[in-house]
Structure 1
Amino acid sequence: MGKLSTHVLDITVGKPGAGVKVALYAVGPAGKTLLKTDVTNADGRCAPLLEGDGMQVGQYELVFDAGDYFAAQGVELPSPRFIDRVTLAFGIASVEQNYHVPLVVSPWAYSTYRGS
């Protein structure tokens, strides 16, 4: 069985984003269901978000509280924040594979990619 994992990289300082709140949602015809919340550790990572029987084919969203993270770092942010809550929508097509969905973020931009 595969697993779903994530991490946050703060490109303003070139370091892991420690202390970022992350929420995982399953997305289906009836809407979104919150599956798990976590906070990134000192390495910017969370424990696996899905694994074993919890790993299911489907659509998901990861929501990162990036604006709160940057505010806690003392970064001067406009009001309202340009980047606040970052939502990454993605699909899991095979429960046998690993899906690593990281966030590379600054107060002004973000990106992601599929790792393994």
Structure 2
Amino acid sequence: MSARSAITTHVLDAVTGRPAVGVPVSLEQLGATDGTTTWVWLASGVTDADGRLADLGPAALAPGRYRVVFDTGSFFARTATPTLYPEVIVSIELPADPALAHVHVPLLLSPFAYSTYRGS
């Protein structure tokens, strides 16, 4: 594993009470191209055996808006579990304060609900 990135995550399966292993996760940044606003892919990875992803993108990111995209549909498809949420997108705003430059985004997941918060 490389150095911890500016944005990390931990996904837990609330139904089984276990880590959500193998969830594809992408990191995107809000950018502007030709006067239009668009999301720009920065990095991607997959949660490990503990449901964590510590190396999602660079160790430092500029202040701005980012989003973490969880491919929950593929996670539930592996067990033929129907879900209302095939994708969870968590948008975050990284502040200019260097003390707040690392953001941990936990995701508590079930087929018909999810929650998230700023972790440590």
Is residue 67–residue 107 contact of structure 1 (8 Å, CA) maintained in 2?
Answer: no
**Counterpart Cα distance in 2 of 1:40 and 1:70:** 14
Deviation at 1:47, TM superposition (A): 2.5
**Counterpart Cα distance in 1 of 2:77 and 2:13:** 13
User: Residue 13 of structure 1 aligns with which residue?
Assistant: 16
- TM-score w.r.t. the length of structure 2 is 0.83
**Counterpart Cα distance in 2 of 1:15 and 1:74:** 17
Unaligned runs of 5+ in 2: none
User: Residue 74 of structure 1 aligns with which residue?
Assistant: 80
2:94 alignment partner AA: I
The CA deviation string for residues 7-43 of structure 1, in whole angstroms up to 9 with x for no partner, is 1110010011000000100013431100001000000
2:48 alignment partner AA: N
Unaligned runs of 5+ in 1: none
User: Residue 39 of structure 2 aligns with which residue?
Assistant: 32
* Structure (1 or 2) with the greater strand fraction: 2
RMSD in angstroms over aligned alpha carbons? 1.7
Is residue 104–residue 111 contact of structure 1 (8 Å, CA) maintained in 2?
Answer: yes
Aligned length: 110
1:17 alignment partner AA: A
**Counterpart Cα distance in 2 of 1:95 and 1:33:** 23
- TM-score w.r.t. the length of structure 1 is 0.85
Secondary structure of 2:30's aligned partner:
strand
Secondary structure of 1:9's aligned partner:
strand
Deviation at 1:68, TM superposition (A): 1.2
User: Residue 119 of structure 2 aligns with which residue?
Assistant: 115
**Counterpart Cα distance in 1 of 2:42 and 2:20:** 22
Deviation at 1:66, TM superposition (A): 0.7
Structure 1 segments (4+ residues) deviating >6 Å? none
1:22 alignment partner AA: V
**Counterpart Cα distance in 1 of 2:66 and 2:38:** 11
Deviation at 1:51, TM superposition (A): 4.2
Sequence identity (%): 40
User: Residue 52 of structure 2 aligns with which residue?
Assistant: 45
